[in-house]
Structure 1
Amino acid sequence: MPALCAVGILVVGQLYTLLPVLDELGGSWSTTTSAAGWATTAFGFGYAAGFLFSGPLSDRFGRRKLIVTGLLLTALATVAVTLASSLAVGCAARAVQGLAAATFAPAAFAYIAERIEPTRRVAAMTWLTSSFLSAGVLGQVFSQSVADAWNWEAVFYICAAAMVGGALLLHTTLLPDRASAAASALDAYRAMGKLLTKPSLVLFLLTTVTLLCGFVAVYTALQLMGPASLSDRPDAMLLLRASSLPAMVLVPLVTPFLVKVPAAQRVIGALLLAGTVSGMTALLAAGDGLSPVGLGALLFVFVFGIAVTAPALVEAIASQAGPARGAAVALYTFTLFVGASLGPLLATSAGDSFATVSTVIAGVLCAGAALAATGQYLRR
């Protein structure tokens, strides 16, 4: 599990590594900082689309084989990003990078379901999910630190080398693949189609879109239009990103208590918490009363709400899928990262101030809570 979680942080972190270096990227590609944000969106859409293919591929070819092969392909695509000379080429390279990176998560979840004993499986799933979410913070902290010391290209070279190392690590650590008796890929897509006929499940999938959309939009807005108080200290942004990490660690530790609350109620409550915090952030930012310390505290609670919501959504969606749980998880991960892809667009189009964007994010997350509440009502 430590090996899977470490590689999971590395892989999912690629979605977020561009956020701290958008200015430098815009200069290298002769475009604006806002336009450079499309490279994050391109990765997210490639990543989301890849989940629809990697689930059946994992069933057919084996968990370890797909993970190792996917990491090596992702390493090549990561290097290709540094060779891009324009925004269009960079976005294409990022889309391929996302498509290759999508091989990891479905295979990792399936490996846990098959190889971890039932009494430890929930804890293992929670740790892996938390590692994916913590990548949103760690990816940015790593990227900013390396870019400040060298340049943005070094971020991608180091990540590519780490992926090759991760492939070797997991090839050694994971158990060999079992003989496959999987159904055809067409059967998997038929199962997805049947799930999409359930209104309550569709509403929870729409809720999933709002989750990382709000999360990524917050950090994009901080980079592009953060409060003026952040400019007074060069290290303020780095510390602000790192301040959310304890929330990621806290969630798995309190999971034994959280699971006593039904999954749908956890989704609704946690999203309302994150939305309320975003609204409070908007009010304080509008009144120039938002210090770096205060913003760090608010981000801690915001990220805690997001981190509680993610595994609860998996549980709520899978519980409606019957025997088609694999297809349900594929749809969940697809919609999750569609939302992540929309986050930068939300941040750059919602307004030109951090307060305005925070207000819109609050509305998006509260709308997600309303969708989940409606979905839960329809299940009764």
Structure 2
Amino acid sequence: MNDDNLKTVNYPLITFILTFAGLTILMSMYITIPLTATWISEFSINETKAIWLSSAFSLCYAFSSLIYGPLSDRFGRKVFLVYGITFLTIITILCGFVENYELLLILRILQAMGASAFVPISLVYIADVLPAEKRLKALGFVSSSFLIASVVAQVFSTLVQETFGWHYIFLLLGLFYIVTSILTIVYLPKDTRVKHENSILTNFINIKNLFINRSLCISFLISFMLLFSLIGMYTILGTYLAAKPLYFTDEQILIVRATGLIAVTTSLFANNITRKFGVVQSVKCSLLVASLSLFLMAISPNPILSILFSLFFIACIALLVPVNISLINKNSAAQRGTAILFNAFILFIGASFGPMLASQLMLHTNSLVSFVIFGFVLLLGYVGAFFFD
């Protein structure tokens, strides 16, 4: 951006718009989680098909992220922000009028294609538009909205479904996206596109260059662990609390999940924390404390302590998300867009495998073994952090 534009940029407004967008857009990923029984009844399908309305979104979101990275490096960021939110708005509203399972599944896939064009690229946009001293704070707000969305979406969809019916979940989200579209088009400044001599095909082929950089590889490894361990932890904790002798109800478990919102606020202080302790040191300490928290959850004699230690764990994961993204921004140079969107791919691949492993562990072992295994995974990340350049 030129000097004249820099003088007129409203950085708090940019941060607010991208935070609001991150929260509402990623709600689309999680709104179907409490609706499995509704889909089974509504469409006369089995549980596996019902779960695909959630899984199809996650998988398509992950793989679409790989496509948009090289394209945004070539054509700029805002064009994809506008395309993503506009396309998502149209598809989401259409979802509200669907009466057929197969059509809804197709539209969920298309939703993911729109969402993945906005959310990951918004992180690269922050690095392109905001000055260095404001980036980490903005990343903290935006990335915290990603984590908050996982809880807010489930509460939102449950309340709307019980009050108005599931169709209105998509219609109300569509209204949110109309507002976001207007804010994006009118108030987000256009980024300065770096001119690349490479063709789009070359940009895709050059994805392999990301793996030459050791620090980027370590960041990708850590990214995989974040949602892998977060959603895995929630899966284990939920099963543990619902089983005998505790028998927590669904409402009580939802309250436990909601308390995690308190811990998510650590991401908002990422800038202050890294200034005091350094970026790499903050990553190391967060991974170590998160790992120890899982070990303590495993040996806690009562559920209250397990819930307490889960808050320490969530706080560390919430801090790691923006700090790790800032490291990727720093180390990826001209391939920033490709690196950030590849990171989104890794994040949501981890989000897919975490609950799968946790479910299998709880089926064949117990919560102690399950928490310990996930704790060891994060401990490996802690060791890996010592190899940052």
TM-score range, shorter chain: 0.7 to 0.9
> Are 1:290 and 2:300 an aligned pair?
no
Partner of 2:161: 147
The 5 Å alignment of 1:109-120 reads 109-120=123-134
Q: What is the TM-score of this pair, normalised by structure 2? A: 0.82
Choose the corresponding residue for 1:181, options 192, 195, 214: 195
Matched letter for residue 331 of structure 1: F
Considering only aligned residues, what root-mean-square deviation do their CA atoms show, in Å? 3.2
* Alignment CA distance shift 1:370-1:295 (3 Å): closer
Matched, 1:208 2:258: no
Moved more, 43-52 or 115-124: 115-124
Aligned to 2:347: 336
Cα offset, 1:102, TM superposition = 0.6
Mean Cα deviation higher: 7-16 or 72-81: 72-81
Distance 1:119 1:351, change over 3 A: closer
Query: Please, which of 235, 249, 256 is the counterpart of residue 240 of structure 1?
Result: 256
Match of 1:356 in 2: 366
Which runs of structure 2 are paired with 1:67-216 in the superposition (5 Å)?
Answer: 67-79=81-93, 81=95, 83=98, 85-86=100-101, 90-176=104-190, 178=192, 181-183=195-197, 184-198=199-213, 201-216=216-231
| 1:47–1:27 distance in 2 versus 1, CA, 3 Å | same
CA distance in 2, matches of 1:182, 1:28: 50
What TM-score do the two structures reach when normalised by structure 1?
A: 0.83
Deviation, structure 1 residue 359? 4.2
| Mapped contact 2:91–2:107 kept (Cα < 8 A) | yes
Q: 1:191 to 1:169 in 2, by over 3 A?
A: same
CA separation in 2, counterparts of 1:349 and 1:127? 34
Q: Which runs of 5+ in 2 are unaligned?
A: 1-14
Do the aligned residues in 2 keep the contact of 1:206 with 1:371 (CA within 8 Å)? yes
Mapped partners of 2:356, 2:43: distance in 1: 19
Instruction: Please name the residue that 1:217 is paired with.
Output: 232
Find 1:269's aligned residue among 285, 298, 302: 285
Is residue 373 from structure 1 mapped to residue 383 from structure 2 by the alignment? yes
Q: How many residues align?
A: 372
Structure 1, 67-76 or 173-182: larger mean CA deviation: 173-182
Measure how far apart 1:234 and its partner are. 6.3
Q: What's the offset of the Cα at 1:90?
A: 4.7
In 2, are the aligned partners of 1:29 and 1:85 still within 8 Å (CA)?
Answer: yes
Change (3 A) 1:71 1:97: same
Q: Which amino acid aligns with 1:376?
A: F
- What SS does the corresponding residue of 1:327 show, helix, strand or coil? helix
C-alpha separation in 1, matches of 2:274 and 2:292? 20
Aligned residue runs from structure 1 range 52-71, under 5 A: 52-71=66-85
Deviations 1:324-366 (A, max 9, x none): 333322221221111122234234433339x836743552353
Change (3 A) 1:267 1:151: farther
Contact 2:24/2:149, CA 8 A, preserved across alignment: yes
Comparing 357-366 and 323-332, the one that deviates more: 357-366
The answer to whether the Cα contact below 8 Å between 1:214 and 1:361 also exists between their aligned partners in 2 is: no
